[in-house]
Structure 1
Amino acid sequence: MEVYQGKSVFGGIAIGRISVHKKDEQQVKRVRIEDSEQEILRYRQAKQTAMEQLQGLYQKALKEVGEANAAIFEIHQMMLEDDDYNESVENIIRMQQVNAEYAVASTGDNFAQMFSAMDDDYMRARSADVKDISERVLSVLGGRATGIAASGEPVIIVADDLAPSETVQLNKDLVLSFVTVHGSVNSHTAILARTMSIPALIGTAIPLTDDIDGKVGIVDGKNGCIYVDPDEDTLGRMQQLKLEEQEKKELLQTLKGRENITIDGKKIMLYANIGNSKDLAAVLQNDAGGIGLFRSEFIYLERDTFPTEEEQFQIYRTVAETMAGKPVIIRTLDIGADKKCDYFEMEPEENPAMGCRAIRICLTRPEIFKTQLRALFRASAFGNISIMYPMIISVDELRKIKTIVAEIRQELTEQGVTFGEPKQGIMIETPAAVMMSEELAKEVDFFSIGTNDLTQYTLAIDRQNPKLDAFYDPHHPAVLRMIQMVVENAHKAGIWAGICGELGADTTLTRRFLAMGVDELSMSPGSILPVRKIILETDVTKERENNNLC
Structure 2
Amino acid sequence: MLHSLRSIVQEVNAARDMKTALAIIVMRVKHAMQTQVCSVYLRDDKGEYLLMATEGLNPKAVGQVRLRRGEGLVGRVVVREEPINLEHAEAHPSYQYFPETGEERYSSFLGVPIIHHRQVLGVLVVQQVEQRRFDEGDEAFLVTMSAQLAAVIAHAEATGDLLTLGEKPRQAKFVGVSGAPGIAIGEAVVISPVADLQSVPFKACDDVDAELAFFQRSLMAVREDIKGLGSQLKERLNREEQALFDAYLAMLDDASLAREVSERIRKGVTAPYAWAEVILEHERTFTSMNDPYLRERATDLRDLGRRVLAYLQESTQKCRIYPDRTILIGEELTASMLGEVPREKLAGLVSVEGSSNSHVAILARAMDIPTVMGAVDLPYTQMDQRPVIVDGYKGVVHTDPGSQLRKHYKAIYIEEQQLVKGLEALRDLPCETLDGYRVPLWVNTGLMTDVVRSLERGAEGVGLYRTEVPFLLRDRFPGEEEQRQIYREQLEAFSPHPVTMRTLDIGGDKALPYFPIEEDNPFLGWRGIRVTLDHPEIFLTQIRAMMKASEGLDNLRILLPMITSVPELDASLVLIHRVFNELREEGYDIHLPPIGVMIEVPAAVYQVRELSSRVQFLSVGSNDLTQYLLAVDRNNARVADVYQAFHPAVFRALQTIVDEGHKENVSVGICGELAGDPGAAILLMAMGFDVLSMNATNLPKVKSVIRGITLLQSRALLAEVMALSDADQIRERVERALREAGVTRLIRPLDNAG
TM > 0.5 between the two? yes
Q: How does 1:301-340 map to 2 (within 5 A)?
A: 301-340=472-511
Superposed CA offset, 1:362-383 (max 9, x none) = 2121111000000011111253
Distance 1:465 1:190 in 2: 13
Contact 1:168/1:275, CA 8 A, preserved across alignment = no
Specify whether residues 548 and 315 from structure 1 end up closer, same or farther in structure 2 by C-alpha distance, changes over 3 A only: same
Give the equivalent residue in structure 1 for 2:532: 362
Q: How does 1:289-300 map to 2 (within 5 A)?
A: 289-300=460-471
> Which of 294, 304, 315 is the equivalent residue of 1:142?
315
2:541 corresponds to which residue?
Answer: 371
Aligned-pair distance for 1:548? 3.2
Q: Which moved more, 1:479-488 or 1:274-283?
A: 274-283
Contact 2:432 2:706 in 1 (8 A): yes
- TM-score after normalising by structure 1: 0.76
For the residue of structure 1 that corresponds to 2:575, the secondary structure is helix
Aligned twin of 2:184: 14
Question: Deviation string for 1:205-249 (max 9, x for gaps)?
Answer: 222345x42233222222332223322222222111111111111
Count of aligned positions: 454
1: distance between equivalents of 2:651 and 2:634?
A: 18
User: Whole-Å Cα distance in 1 between the matches of residues 339 and 560 of structure 2?
Assistant: 22
Distance 1:8 1:393 in 2: 30
1:216 aligns to 2:387 (yes or no): yes
- SS across alignment from 2:679: coil
Matched letter for residue 261 of structure 1: E
SS of the residue 2:678 aligns to: coil
Report whether the alignment pairs 1:201 with 2:320. Answer: no
Instruction: Report how far residue 534 of structure 1 moved.
Output: 0.9
Structure 1 match to 2:715: 544
1:288–1:528 Cα contact (<8 Å) kept: yes
Pairs within 5 Å for 1:57-72: none
Q: Find the counterpart in structure 2 of residue 497 from structure 1.
A: 668
Give the SS at the match of 2:551.
helix
Partner of 2:735: none
Aligned residue among 432, 445, 453 for 1:261: 432
Structure 1 residue 3 corresponds to structure 2 residue 176:
no
| 1:365 partner letter | H
Picking from 380, 387, 398, the partner of 1:227 is 398
CA displacement at 1:155 relative to structure 2: 0.9
Change (3 A) 1:342 1:12: closer
Decide which of 439, 452, 456 is 2:627's aligned counterpart: 456
Cα distance in 2 for residues equivalent to 1:397 and 1:300: 23
Residue of structure 2 aligned with 1:252, choices 406, 423, 428: 423
Residues 1:426 and 1:169: Cα distance change in structure 2 (over 3 Å): farther
State percent identity of aligned pairs: 37
**Which residue does the alignment assign to 2:351?**
180
Tell whether the 8 Å contact from 1:276 to 1:296 is kept in structure 2 after alignment: no
Match of 1:438 among 609, 627, 631: 609
Higher RCO (CA-CA < 8 Å; seq separation 6+): 1
Are the aligned partners of 1:320 and 1:382 in contact in 2 as well (CA < 8 Å)?
Answer: no
1:144 is displaced (CA, Å) by 4.4
> What amino acid is aligned across from residue 221 of structure 2 in structure 1?
Y
1:279 aligns with 2:450: yes
Correspondence list, 1:386-535, <5 A: 386-535=557-706
Q: What corresponds to 2:221 in structure 1?
A: 102
Q: Deviations over 1:415-471 (max 9, x none)?
A: 223434321111101111111111211111111100111111112222222222222
Tell me how far apart the structure 2 counterparts of residues 145 and 239 of structure 1 sit (CA, whole Å).
Answer: 33
CA deviation map 1:280-334 (0-9, x unaligned): 2221232211211111112222222211110100000011111131111110010
Q: Tell me the CA shift for residue 487 of structure 1.
A: 0.8
Unaligned runs of 5+ in 2: 1-169, 198-215, 234-306, 723-754
1:206–1:409: structure 2 CA closer, same or farther, 3 Å change rule? same
8 Å Cα contact 1:290-1:328 kept in structure 2? yes
Q: 1:298 to 1:146 in 2, by over 3 A?
A: farther
CA deviation after TM superposition for structure 1 residue 254, in Å: 1.2
Q: What letter corresponds to residue 676 of structure 2 in structure 1?
A: A
- Would you say the 8 A contact 2:619–2:669 is kept in 1? yes
Q: Distance in 1 between the 2:715 and 2:444 partners? A: 27
Q: Is the 8 A contact 1:216 1:229 kept in 2?
A: yes
* Structure 1 contact 168–192 (Cα < 8 Å) conserved: no
**Cα distance change of structure 1 residues 412 and 105 upon mapping to structure 2, 3 Å threshold:** farther
Letter in 1 for 2:315: G
Q: How do residues 33-44 of structure 1 correspond to structure 2 at under 5 angstroms? A: none
Change in Cα spacing, 1:516 to 1:26, as seen in structure 2 (3 Å) is: closer
Q: Which moved more, 1:417-426 or 1:500-509?
A: 417-426
Structure 1 residue 15: Cα displacement? 1.3
Q: How far did 1:490 drift?
A: 1.9
Contact conserved, 2:185 with 2:325, CA < 8 A, in 1? no
Equivalent residue letter for 1:373 = I
Quick one: distance in 2 between partners of 1:20 and 1:356? 32
